[in-house]
Structure 1
Amino acid sequence: MTDRANNFPPLPKFLKVKPCFYQNIQEEIPAQHQQLRTLSFVAVYSVTLCLNVIGCIAWWAAGGHGSNFGYSLLWLISFSPASYICWFRPIYKAIRADSSFNFMAFFFIFFLQLVLAIIQCLGINNWGICGWIATVTFYRYNAAAATVMLLTTLLLTLVTALMALVLIKVHRLYRGIGGSVTRAQEEWGAGTWKSAPAKGESSVVDQTAQGPSLPEYPAAVPNYLDNRSW
């Protein structure tokens, strides 16, 4: 992988800061599983955090606490890149290299984020999130601002439901290829969880996607003893 230049995040060439990661979903991920590896989910989550900032501004302008706006910026700045690094990259490497260790890392981190998203949907005050409690309560003070907050709340609820769906689908894939904690421990001990499969080598995920292979027969025609009829 050393001969491949990093290409993500895509940055203008005139910047001195260069991309940190290499990824190529079309080449490295089987077509059947590319729907789990697209950046659309990270983008939707980041857009939700952006709308949350707008909702907190409306909340603040209508008489809410300014701390909510500050925390909303913190959620956006920290969780947008953290989502990509902490769970997007592990599941990418897990499917690419059939790595049980990376699958385990994804399950642990993504489950924690799912729990946090459920708490965010509740809308606890002074958390910087326009959840259900904060939105419904604020309708008594300013209906216009609460409506803006409601858009963020609905989108955040949808994202949380999608998180649960993705977690279930990845777990089914993981169990389907024979992943286990024992394999994850072996990869950790051998250090193979860091590397991708060699060029031309297919992983268990590829083999599962392609189905069972046909037996190979010898190229030469066998010689029979005679040409007797049945």
Structure 2
Amino acid sequence: MAQSRDGGNPFAESGELDNPFQDPAVIQHRPSSQYATLDVYNPFENREPPPSYELPASAPAPPLPAPSAPSLQPSRKLSPKEPKNYGSYSTQASAAAATAELLKKQEELNRKAEELDRRERELQHVALGGTASRQNNWPPLPSFCPVQPCFFQDISMEIPHEFQKTVSTMYYLWMCSTLALLLNFLACLASFCVETSNGSGFGLSLLWVLLFTPCSFVCWYRPMYKAFRSDSSFNFFIFFFIFFVQDVFFVLQAIGIPGWGFSGWVSAVMEVKANMAVAVFMLLVALLFTGIAVLGIVMLKRIHSLYRRTGASFQKAQQEFAAGVFSNPAVRTAAANAAAGAAENAFRTP
């Protein structure tokens, strides 16, 4: 019984390894003088505080994170491809509209500055030598020529900036029409040399060169130039009427009715049977006439749209005509003489 009791006692001194309290892990943590325990600590005694617990050297304490300033709102890091949001869509749209308005005003101010610069240069030219400083410069003839220039023309100085391109295009159109008439004269001359029965066409082609070259410049180009220079409704009406007739002649030149002195498409096709080289030359002239006719119609429409934007009207043209007539010294002298003669006749009658 005793043996069974001893054998059943797990704490019997049967061996050092059989006793759990002799385990090295338990013995390591037994109370010692290095640890503060309840047995050795009396709060009522005036003694030094017990030593604090220290961690083993093999396990250093992890470093604490540095305190950071608290943020009121959570921050979100933008990706490189994500655009920054500087405002709502309405705010951005209003800013874009304001920018466009500022750019438009800047362009208008630039145009006004150029216009003032042009006016200033014109006044300086006049102030330097009076009317002598603005000598006629067109046509550009040499000084030894007995015929001197008849007109003064300077598109960059006299024409407003927004109309300079239109006036320059019309000037080039006039030069192209003159060149086309010269080539037409040469083509009709070649056709006359090949076939003598085309003498009437050759004669009329010479007439068109001598007639249309100066008359087109004086009758429709100069009124257009003066209309844009001084915003003259009267000159606009003259230009529209005469240039419309000129466009009709451009179309007739491109068609090329035989015997009319125009090397158009019809005359060129009929010339193929007589001489192929002359026919090719006439086809080139017909192509040039066609381009001039198309450009003339386009420019007539464009100038008419510009004319409607300027605020010109038929009443304004009548007023300008009346003012121009009465301001003419010759007209005023003739009217005064007529009135004086009528009054004298009235007094003489019984």
TM-score range (shorter-chain normalised) is 0.7 to 0.9
Which residue of the partner structure matches residue 72 of structure 1?
A: 205
**Any idea what SS the aligned residue of 1:191 has?**
helix
Residue aligning to 1:29: 159
Q: Is the 8 A contact 1:130 1:152 kept in 2?
A: yes
Specify the alignment match of 2:219 in structure 1: 86
Moved more, 48-57 or 30-39: 30-39
For 1:70 and 1:187, how far apart are their aligned partners in 2? 41
For residues 104 and 26 of structure 1, what CA distance do their matches in structure 2 show?
24
Letter in 2 for 1:130: S
SS of match in other structure, 1:20: coil
Matches within 5 A, 1:185-196: 185-191=318-324
**How far 1:140 moved relative to its partner?**
2.4
CA distance in 1, matches of 2:283, 2:162: 36
Show CA shifts across 1:175-217 (max 9, x none): 011111111111111118x99xxxxxxxxxxxxxxxxxxxxxx
Equivalent residue number for residue 57 of structure 2: none
Q: TM-score, normalised by structure 2?
A: 0.53
Q: CA deviation at 1:11?
A: 1.1
Cα RMSD for the two superposed structures: 1.9
| Residue 60 (structure 1) aligned with residue 192 (structure 2) | yes
Which residue identity lines up with residue 24 of structure 1 in the other structure?
Answer: D
Deviation at 1:9, TM superposition (A): 0.8
* 2:237 counterpart (97, 104, 120): 104
Q: Following superposition of structure 1 onto structure 2, how do residues 98-177 of structure 1 map, counting pairs within 5 Å?
A: 98-177=231-310
| Structure 1 CA distance for aligned equivalents of residues 149 and 276 of structure 2 | 44
Give the C-alpha shift of residue 154 in structure 1. Answer: 0.4
Instruction: Show the counterpart of 2:117.
Output: none
TM-score when normalising by structure 1:
0.80
Q: Rg: which structure is higher?
A: 2
Letter in 2 for 1:93: K
Task: Tell which has more relative contact order, 1 or 2 (C-alpha 8 A, sep 6+).
Answer: 1
Matches of 2:144 and 2:247 in 1, distance apart?
A: 38
The offset of 1:6, in angstroms, is 1.1
Q: CA deviation at 1:35?
A: 1.9
Distance 1:43 1:180 in 2: 30
Work out the CA distance in 1 between the residues paired with 2:143 and 2:187.
35
Tell me which residue corresponds to 1:47.
179
The 3 A distance-change label for structure 1 pair 16 and 58 is: closer
- Bigger drift between 96-105 and 22-31 goes to 22-31
Bigger mean CA offset, 48-57 vs 10-19: 10-19
SS in 1 for 2:321: helix
Counterpart code for 1:49? L
Q: Distance in 2 between matches of 1:103 and 1:146?
A: 40
Answer whether contact 1:58 1:149 (CA < 8 A) is retained. no
Amino acid of the structure 1 residue aligned with 2:287: L
1:81 CA drift (Å): 1.1
Say whether the 8 Å CA contact 1:58–1:148 is kept in structure 2: no
Q: C-alpha deviations, 1:101-139, integer Å up to 9, x for none?
A: 000000000001111121222211111110111111221
Q: Which residue of 2 aligns with 1:225?
A: none
Alpha-carbon displacement from aligned partner over 1:15-71 (angstroms, at most 9, x marks no partner): 232111111111111222112222311111111011101111221122151221121
**Moved beyond 6 Å, runs of 4+:** none
1: CA distance between counterparts of 2:267 and 2:225?
Answer: 36
**Count of matched residue pairs:** 195
